Amino acid sequence: MFVALIGSTFYNPHMEEWLEAIEQELLTVLPRTVDHAWVERVFGHEVPLMSEGLFDEVCAPARDLLYSGGKRWRPLLMLLTAKMLGGQRAFDKAMRFVPLVELPHNGSLIIDDIEDQSDLRRGLPATHITHGIDLSINAGTFLFYLPTMILEDADITDAERLGLYRIYSKYMRKIHLGQGMDIVWHHGIETIPDIGAYETMCRLKTGCLAAMGSEMGAALATDNQWIIGEAGLIAETIGLGFQVLDDVINLEKGNPGKQRGDDIVENKKSLPIILYANAHPKEKPHLFSVFRKAQTEGYGPAKDDIIELIDRMVASKVLEQARDHAHELFLEVLRMIEGLYRPSQDRDLLVAMINGFLQA
């Protein structure tokens, strides 16, 4: 999983061990089957077990998506940050908190797919297709709150607990702002945001949970607020670069488990779209007509128009420009990493991860 993400030229013997440990931590918060102990831990002794099947049905949408895949790069980044700044002790403490990053991420995907009316996620029918919109909304928001139980019973100081609560709350507010910006642009067919606004949205939406995890990892290693903030900024910029690359791949060949150009169906104002609209203002009427057809008729009827529009964009070189911009962001990240973290095998792993993005 992670080897594929960063490229086969780099290998760390601990990588699979860390990934397995992350999966185990996720299972402690959202197990594949529930029992009385889990119900009491999550909801309190006032809630009776009732039927185990009832709890399983409520949790099924969240559980199915969480264990359907995912690169887990956000919790890995959290762990690396803790280890680079605080050594093995901070790493071990941070491992306990990885669900605070990964569960809200999956919750946001469930909600995002409903808002975008997406059909697929990770190559499978989207959660709301399988489980229904109402149960999926409930499960998605449940994933925002479920992992906070870790903060309540973790063996940390009250100061650390308060610091982590503050970080978590701050970034959960931010991610909703980023998603809201994206939705507003979806609603306006002819709305083309400027590049600065687009990058702000991506930092809030995609970079947000990576930044949250890295700030948490840093906070478990140091109380230096500048270091904590810088660690978050590095992760946020990685998320921004990741989103720009994702935008390009969506138009080039389609993201894994998705259809090529389905961002157009969702009226997403990605960086290649913004660059194309800015460089070819006379093409805007055609651009908007394709967006309108795709949005009203769906991917199938609009597929030929979508592919033809993408071909125009490829010919105009805007996909190359967007990819180059992502690479510039990752090069900036490499400079920031060198300035914040001391040389170590763990820093080498983080650098390898960024180099993997540069090769994408």
Q: Give the tens place of pLDDT for each residue, 205-237.
A: 999 999 999 999 999 999 999 999 999 999 999
Q: Is the pLDDT of residue 7 over 60?
A: no
Distance from C-alpha of 227 to C-alpha of 229, rounded to nearest angstrom: 5
**Residue 5 domain-assigned (yes or no):** no
Within a domain: residue 7? no
Q: Which helix (H) or strand (E) element contains residue 120?
A: strand 120-121
Question: Tell me, what's the pLDDT at 1?
Answer: 34
Q: What is the CA 116 to chain-centroid distance, rounded?
A: 16
pLDDT at 249 > cutoff 60 = yes
Instruction: List, for residues 256-279, the tens digit of each pLDDT value.
Output: 667 788 888 888 899 999 999 999
Model confidence pLDDT, tens digit, residues 275-301: 999 999 999 999 999 999 998 888 889
Please indicate, yes or no, if residue 6 is contained in any of the structural domains.
no
pLDDT band at 164 (very low <50, low <70, confident <90, very high): very high
Determine the average pLDDT of the residues in 64-75. Answer: 91
Q: Tell me the mean pLDDT in the region 77-89.
A: 96
Overall average pLDDT of the 153-163 stretch: 92
Residue 186 to residue 67: CA distance in whole angstroms:
29
For the stretch 17-33, pLDDT in tens is 999 999 999 999 999 98
Q: What is the mean pLDDT of residues 31-44?
A: 86
CATH number of the domain to which 29 belongs? 1.10.600.10
Distances (CA, A) of 287 to 132, 210, 280, 311: 33, 33, 10, 12
Residue 129: both structure tokens together: 């297709």
- Cα 291–chain centre separation: 25
Segment 172-190 mean pLDDT: 93
pLDDT-based confidence at residue 9 (cuts at 50, 70, 90): very low
pLDDT of residue 88: 96
* 289-to-283, 286, 300 alpha-carbon distances in Å: 10, 5, 16
Low-confidence winner among 52-61, 153-162, 274-283, 317-326 (lowest mean pLDDT): 52-61
DSSP state of 283: G
Residue 51 lies in a domain: yes
Rounded to an integer, the average pLDDT of 236-247 is 94
Average pLDDT over residues 178-191: 91
Render the burial of 285-318: b for 16+ CB within 10 Å, e for the rest.
eebbebbebbbeeebeebbebbeebbebbeebeb
Nearest to 25 by CA among 277, 213, 207, 171: 213
Report the pLDDT value the prediction gives residue 307, as an integer from 0 to 100: 93
User: What pLDDT score does 12 carry?
Assistant: 63
Residue 11 counted as domain residue:
no
Q: What is the dihedral of CA 237, 242, 247, 249, to 10 degrees?
A: 150
Parent domain of 310: 17-358
The pLDDT value given to residue 49: 63
Percent of the chain whose predicted confidence (pLDDT) is above 90: 72
Question: Is the confidence at residue 50, as pLDDT, over 80?
Answer: no
Does position 146 have pLDDT exceeding 70, yes or no?
Answer: yes
DSSP code for 30: S
Q: How far apart are CA 38 and CA 51, in angstroms?
A: 13
Total domains in the chain come to: 1
In a domain, 10, yes or no: no
Residue 109 lies in a domain: yes
12 located within any domain: no
Given a cut of 50, whether residue 10 has pLDDT beyond it is no
Give the three-state DSSP class for 125. Answer: strand
Query: In the predicted model, is pLDDT for residue 360 greater than 80?
Result: no
